[in-house]
Structure 1
Amino acid sequence: MEHEKVNILLVDDQPAKLLAYEVILKELGEHLVVATSGREALEILLKNEIAVILVDVCMPELDGFELAQMIREHPRFQKIAIIFISAIQVSDFDRLRGYEMGAVDYVPVPVVPEVLRAKIKVFAELYRKTRELEHLNRELENRVRARTAELERSTAQLIESEQRRSMAIAAGRMGSWDWDGVNGDWMWDEGQYRIFGVTPQGFELNSVNIMGLLHPEDAARASQVIAEFGRGTTSYETEFRIIRPDGEERWCVGTAAATTDRTGRVIRVSGVTIDITERKRAEERQNLLTREVDHRAKNALTLAQSIVRLTKADSVGTYVSAVEGRISALARVHTILSLSSWQGAEMSRLVAEELAPYATGGQVDFGGAELQLQPATAQTLALALHELVTNSAKYGALSVRSGQLSVKWTIEHDRLDLVWIETGGPLVHVPTSRGFGTRSLMASVESQLGGRAVFDWRPEGLVCRLLVPLRPGVTPPEATNAFAVPVAEGARQRATG
């Protein structure tokens, strides 16, 4: 089941886009199903098990939002992951509307293949693991039911009890037990001792000691079960926790069946214990993964919404270009974080990705200490670097072939100190007011990261210093004299000569 292909439904009214999505997702090795309309998608859903739906927001007749609403209204499809393909012009209201209708993520246009594959892969794997867990749960439930029926039929015969004990030992994580209601004696097999973490030699088998191994919150329920057997209950099944002598907590599922005499008195209780700790831990990991995917999707959406909302321009074309640039910067750092399973981003790779278009002509020099940035810090710093490089390419050192850019960083007292030095470009004049890019850079570094961004508009080129705390509670120094940053004499001559 681990390698079984899952179905991924691609919905778009444009065949060219569907073909592009198929090419991008082909290397995942999953089964791709295409639909050219919302109605065709619904027909496919009724006939197939679908893991993930990738749907275009804008379609004739039945758009992506309406399709998502119809899917979520059907009980069978309520847990299917729906990812919207959306263009830049989708409003915040539409995005919120999509999430209310069950979307788990948005993928902006133009689509970044690596990002799309990563998102689809996460939800496909989550679907596969969920199906696998359901399969295991069904198997376990079938085993428990079969075992309970066997106990009810054969508790009066010793030979069948011995067979059950042998089966429990063979299963490895199972144990069986018997309690004599007449004299109060207990009998455990090897599996039961193993589950409870004790040995026949070191553990005196009696009711007091056994109750002492149960979790305090479950011990009272065990007393209630015994009382129910006395009132006529013949079988019982429940989950409970034990505390082994070494302090380890384990989860078990137990079944018990009582045998009574003609007067209704309980003379024997037999049971089976199954260690389900690994299953419980798998469920916890699945829940954690689900929450983590939801958290990352919301973070990415929040950043994208901030970019769209805060970007300003004099024309539609300029606005689109600015938004696309910032979204691309966010996508690049998202790819870096995905490669590390969102554990962090290497500083050198982050800088290299932002400077890549200008690094081939010998204009750029960068380097610094080895550093792994936290995901939130990496995302904000990537957008700040994007603003700096965009400004340099338009007006600064990277706008001419003679220009030079140096980016260096150090780590001191749990603080990142990055210095951006431009030389050899057009003569720099101190701006009379801060542009949106500068204000956005300073706001993101200072408000989101708790750091400082300081600009020195030298005639030979801009010098910018970013001071970013790497852990909570670290305060950057006052930046009034933050620019004891030397510029190489040769670079100064190039800038002034």
Structure 2
Amino acid sequence: MDHEKVNILLVDDQPAKLLAYEVILKELGENLVIASSGREALEVLLKTEIAVILVDVCMPELDGFELAAMIREHPRFQKTAMIFISAIQVSDIDRLRGYEMGAVDYVPVPVVPEVLRAKIKVFAELYRKTRELERLNQELEDRVRARTAELENSTAKLRESEQRRSMAIAAGKMGSWDWDWISGDWMWDEGQYRIFGVSPESFEVNPANVQALLHPDDVDQLRKAIAEFNRGTRAYETEFRIMRPDGEVRWCVGTAAATVDDSGRVVRVSGVTVDITERKRAEERQNLLAREVDHRAKNALALAQSIVRLTRADEVKAYVNAVEGRINALARVHTILSLSSWQGAELSRLIDEELAPYSLGGQIILAGPEVQLLPATAQTLALALHELFTNSAKYGALSTRSGRLTIGWQVEDQLLTLSWDESGGPLVMTPKSRGFGTRSLLASVESQLGGQARFDWRAEGLLCRLEVPLTRKTVATTASAKFEDASSAELQRASG
């Protein structure tokens, strides 16, 4: 029978002996590998898979015992068969030493060819059978893995469903229960106890105790479910509230399914309870947010309408530019507020957005701490800053490259003080009358925010000082209405 050849390593320092071993073992039909020293044998072992090693005990440099010890130290060769050939009389002590070094057998000299062949053949066949068993074992493992993969694929959906259930129970959002319809016995799992806020040690599961934990307005749901099952319904689902012993109210959705006997009578009802309190709260927050968005949208539209109605200009182009500028300022502050979920806006961010079109070669210097503004304050200051930047770009320091603008602010006792200091621009003259921008700035800061706005028209440049309380509570009217009312009054005084 054909079989795969194995490698047999012959180690001896005498070429004549190696040749004799080759002649004797040639009949086995295996691959014979020659090494004339212990070191050469080690090199062969590292490169070639060896089944049996035939080694002479007496060799220069590394003798057979030393070579065997080095071979056995390597993890790959700890089970490799080694046969010692000894030309000297071998005592029991020598044999014991050889076995300790890893030898599996001894062959004395002169060598009997039939005996040597028989010994080598046994270990070669053992090596071959071992490799065959390893291959068969690998094939078996491959088949087992393939079969396991098939089973895993066939049960993937079931496993995923169980994982989702386990995760929900672990998170305290789901519980399962079982009710013996005949005996009245209940069984709750850990998740069910957690949802209801009770412990297995102190709470007895029975219809009366369960009903006591239901919200009074939802008790009828339990009675309705029982009636439905008695009428032949096999599945039931409903939302209900529970009142935990600590007083907390939780929303749940319950799903139940009935098991019937051969006569169609219900014998068991099993179900799952899911805590949906967070979902309910999220729905409430979403509804509140929708109402808040509607409210803010109406306010923004009203404020835009006020800007359009109250803006004055001598020609259409100037009017359009003025309206667009104020609307864009309002849009920019709304963007900032939306990024913070309308919690507020930083003053420095507000100023950065307004000065972006005018930041030329270091003409503008900012100095001040981080200040968080309430949404209403941020909207009003954004429009005020827009008017100051617009006027400066038209008539003041930002209208020329030599002009300089310094904006500084500080907070003390919840009062924001902002200074606007222009210099190096055109010669400034005190205006005979206030324009709409100045009037609206005064009206918004003083009427809407309860602050003050002071103007000093110095020849070298405008100096403006704004004082704004940071904790003032807004009244019930909208900011746009106050802006329009205050601006209209200012216009009437100016025209009168």
Category of TM-score, reference length = shorter chain? 0.5 to 0.7
Describe the superposition over 1:125-155 as per-residue Cα deviations: whole angstroms up to 9, x where unpaired.
Answer: xxxxxxxxxxxxxxxxxxxxxxxxxxxxxxx
**Residues 183 and 329 (structure 1 numbering): CA distance in 2 closer, same or farther, change over 3 Å?**
same
Distance 1:178 1:400 in 2: 83
**Residues 267 and 362 (structure 1 numbering): CA distance in 2 closer, same or farther, change over 3 Å?**
closer
**Residues 198 and 166 (structure 1 numbering): CA distance in 2 closer, same or farther, change over 3 Å?**
farther
Distance 2:237 2:457 in 1: 75
Classify the secondary structure of the residue corresponding to 1:348: helix
- What does 1:80-229 correspond to in 2, within 5 Å? 172=169, 173-180=173-180, 184-219=184-219, 221-223=221-223, 225-226=225-226
State the shift of 1:240 in Å.
Answer: 0.7
Correspondence 1:326 to 2:320: no
Distance 1:176 1:356 in 2: 60
Tell me the number of residue pairs that the alignment of Structure 1 and Structure 2 aligns.
Answer: 312
Distance 1:445 1:167 in 2: 56
Give the partner amino acid of 2:416: L
Distance 1:352 1:257 in 2: 63
- What does 1:49-448 correspond to in 2, within 5 Å? 172=169, 173-180=173-180, 184-219=184-219, 221-223=221-223, 225-226=225-226, 236-245=236-245, 247-256=247-256, 269-448=269-448
State the shift of 1:239 in Å.
Answer: 0.3
Confirm or deny: 8 A CA contact 1:347 1:373 kept in the other structure. yes
Describe the superposition over 1:21-47 as per-residue Cα deviations: whole angstroms up to 9, x where unpaired.
Answer: xxxxxxxxxxxxxxxxxxxxxxxxxxx
State the shift of 1:388 in Å.
Answer: 1.0
Distance 1:359 1:450 in 2: 31
State the shift of 1:437 in Å.
Answer: 0.9
State the shift of 1:230 in Å.
Answer: 6.8
Confirm or deny: 8 A CA contact 2:311 2:322 kept in the other structure. yes
Classify the secondary structure of the residue corresponding to 1:177: strand
Give the partner amino acid of 1:302: A
Classify the secondary structure of the residue corresponding to 2:410: strand
State the shift of 1:440 in Å.
Answer: 1.2
State the shift of 1:322 in Å.
Answer: 0.9
Give the partner amino acid of 2:447: S
**Residues 362 and 257 (structure 1 numbering): CA distance in 2 closer, same or farther, change over 3 Å?**
closer
Distance 2:321 2:385 in 1: 17
State the shift of 1:189 in Å.
Answer: 3.5
State the shift of 1:237 in Å.
Answer: 2.7
Structure 1, 380-389 or 367-376: larger mean CA deviation = 367-376
Classify the secondary structure of the residue corresponding to 1:202: coil
Aligned alpha-carbon RMSD (Å):
3.7
Structure 1, 341-350 or 169-178: larger mean CA deviation = 169-178
State the shift of 1:329 in Å.
Answer: 1.9
Distance 1:245 1:192 in 2: 14
The two structures have a TM-score, normalised by structure 2, of: 0.54
**Residues 167 and 268 (structure 1 numbering): CA distance in 2 closer, same or farther, change over 3 Å?**
farther
Distance 2:354 2:259 in 1: 75
Confirm or deny: 8 A CA contact 1:168 1:176 kept in the other structure. no
Describe the superposition over 1:342-381 as per-residue Cα deviations: whole angstroms up to 9, x where unpaired.
Answer: 4322211221232234433343222112112223322221
Confirm or deny: 8 A CA contact 1:242 1:250 kept in the other structure. yes
The two structures have a TM-score, normalised by structure 1, of: 0.54
**Residues 229 and 427 (structure 1 numbering): CA distance in 2 closer, same or farther, change over 3 Å?**
same
Give the partner amino acid of 1:440: S
**Residues 213 and 428 (structure 1 numbering): CA distance in 2 closer, same or farther, change over 3 Å?**
same
State the shift of 1:199 in Å.
Answer: 3.3
**Residues 202 and 298 (structure 1 numbering): CA distance in 2 closer, same or farther, change over 3 Å?**
same
Give the partner amino acid of 2:352: A
Structure 2 alignment gaps of length 5 or more: 1-160, 476-496
State the shift of 1:319 in Å.
Answer: 0.5
Distance 1:429 1:393 in 2: 16
Distance 1:167 1:339 in 2: 34
Confirm or deny: 8 A CA contact 1:165 1:175 kept in the other structure. no
Confirm or deny: 8 A CA contact 1:397 1:422 kept in the other structure. yes
Confirm or deny: 8 A CA contact 2:366 2:408 kept in the other structure. yes
Confirm or deny: 8 A CA contact 2:179 2:270 kept in the other structure. yes
**Residues 266 and 165 (structure 1 numbering): CA distance in 2 closer, same or farther, change over 3 Å?**
farther
Identity %: 72
Structure 1, 294-303 or 262-271: larger mean CA deviation = 262-271
Equivalent position of 2:454 in the other structure: 454
Confirm or deny: 8 A CA contact 1:185 1:206 kept in the other structure. yes
Distance 2:167 2:404 in 1: 72
Give the partner amino acid of 2:403: G
Confirm or deny: 8 A CA contact 2:221 2:238 kept in the other structure. no
Confirm or deny: 8 A CA contact 1:346 1:370 kept in the other structure. yes
Give the partner amino acid of 2:370: E
Give the partner amino acid of 1:449: L
Classify the secondary structure of the residue corresponding to 2:323: helix
Distance 1:356 1:191 in 2: 57
**Residues 265 and 165 (structure 1 numbering): CA distance in 2 closer, same or farther, change over 3 Å?**
farther
Classify the secondary structure of the residue corresponding to 1:429: coil
State the shift of 1:174 in Å.
Answer: 4.1
Equivalent position of 1:472 in the other structure: 472
Distance 1:427 1:213 in 2: 80
